């Protein structure tokens, strides 16, 4: 063998020389988190660009299957505002928003149910199943999972959550099935309501006593300075997030997401995480690495240890 056939031509060296070592380190780093949270519920609110980009959607499905395979119980909650809006436009119907919420008349409600339950939810279930998981789609109407009440008469059939019956989710988890929940609920009389998916995820996380609730967004997380993407707040308490909202540091469309994180923790979730779903494998990086990639919100600083 000549001297030229050594290190530079080694398939484990050169450009990929340290790749196996990095992969091994990642697995070792994940191990304590897998042990710690084995058997725990993790609610993932799926939305934003991660849902629209086909490659990210496929990656997300594989990640959820992996989370289940290592012993956690993922629950996926999704909305579908862009898809609802597109379908309404095809019908020649313009959407009206008030305080970020879609005014939902009877026709809009039927479109929302059809799109969320019949299209978006089915696509997520199909992707998870194709990746080797066992997913089942349902909405808050199924099994009396979510009882809704009207939020504001001016918004039409937009609902707030009055109560959650987590037994249907718990039964699915016991059967190793991954629930995929569409953000529709119903009142005691069976009237359906469109519910904000962030709110739905927070309520389910609280009712299930989830160890974590993860919100996939199109921003890195909470930013100390909204104009500076490098000002990511990696950890914060509920009180600190509420102060950021009050001071205006969190504003616009980030307010409902930040508030949902606060609500989830106050309702019983161990921690809430806001992260950039445009990053491949964002869920795995947040759950199973020391540094994480987004913002973790807990009740107090002791919970962050």
Task: Write a three-state SS string for 285-298.
Answer: HHHHCCCCCCEEEE
* pLDDT attached to residue 304: 59
Give me the domains of the chain, ranges plus CATH numbers: 38-304 (3.40.1160.10)
* pLDDT attached to residue 305: 53
pLDDT band for position 166 (cuts 50, 70, 90): very high
What mean pLDDT do residues 190-197 have?
A: 95
Closest CA to 174 of 200, 138, 136, 222: 136
What mean pLDDT do residues 159-163 have?
A: 96
pLDDT band for position 249 (cuts 50, 70, 90): confident
**Is residue 115 a contact partner of residue 59, using CB atoms and an 8 Å limit?**
no
Confidence (pTM): 0.89
How far apart CA 284 and CA 118 sit, in angstroms, is: 28
Over the stretch 18-74, which tens digit does the pLDDT of each residue have?
577 777 887 888 899 999 999 999 999 998 888 889 999 999 999 999 999 999 999
CA distances from 173 to 136, 170, 178, 204, 281 (A): 11, 5, 7, 14, 23
pLDDT band for position 188 (cuts 50, 70, 90): very high
pLDDT band for position 303 (cuts 50, 70, 90): low
* pLDDT attached to residue 2: 37
Is the per-residue pLDDT at 228 higher than 90? no
* pLDDT attached to residue 180: 98
Is the per-residue pLDDT at 15 higher than 90? no
Over the stretch 111-132, which tens digit does the pLDDT of each residue have?
999 999 999 999 999 999 999 9
pLDDT band for position 5 (cuts 50, 70, 90): very low
């Amino acid at each position: 063998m000549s001297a030229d056939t050594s290190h530079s031509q080694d398939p484990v060296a050169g450009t990929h020389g340290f790749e196996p070592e990095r992969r091994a380190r990642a697995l070792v780093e994940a191990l304590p988190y897998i042990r710690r949270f084995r058997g725990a519920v993790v609610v993932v609110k799926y939305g934003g660009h991660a849902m629209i980009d086909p490659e990210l959607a496929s990656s997300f499905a594989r990640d959820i299957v992996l989370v289940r395979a290592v012993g956690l119980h993922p629950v996926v909650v999704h909305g579908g505002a862009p898809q609802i809006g597109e379908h309404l436009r095809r019908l020649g119907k313009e959407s009206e928003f008030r305080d970020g919420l879609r005014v939902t008349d009877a026709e809009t409600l039927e479109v929302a149910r059809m799109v969320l339950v019949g299209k978006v939810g089915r696509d997520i279930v199909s992707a998870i199943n194709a990746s080797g998981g066992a997913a089942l789609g349902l909405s808050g109407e199924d099994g009396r999972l979510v009882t809704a009440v009207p939020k504001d008469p001016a918004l039409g059939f937009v609902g707030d959550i009055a109560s959650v019956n987590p037994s249907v989710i718990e039964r699915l988890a016991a059967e190793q099935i991954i629930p995929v929940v569409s953000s529709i609920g119903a009142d005691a009389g069976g009237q359906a309501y469109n519910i904000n998916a962030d709110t739905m995820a927070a309520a389910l996380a609280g009712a299930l006593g989830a160890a974590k609730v993860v919100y996939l967004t199109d921003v890195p997380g909470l930013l100390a300075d909204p104009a500076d993407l490098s000002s990511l707040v990696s950890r914060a308490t509920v009180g600190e997030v509420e102060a950021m909202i009050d001071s205006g540091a969190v504003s616009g469309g980030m307010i409902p997401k930040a508030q949902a994180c606060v609500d989830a923790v106050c309702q019983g979730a161990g921690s809430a995480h806001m992260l950039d779903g445009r990053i491949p494998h964002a869920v795995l990086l947040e759950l199973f690495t020391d540094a994480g990639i987004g913002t973790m919100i807990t009740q107090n600083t002791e919970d962050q240890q």
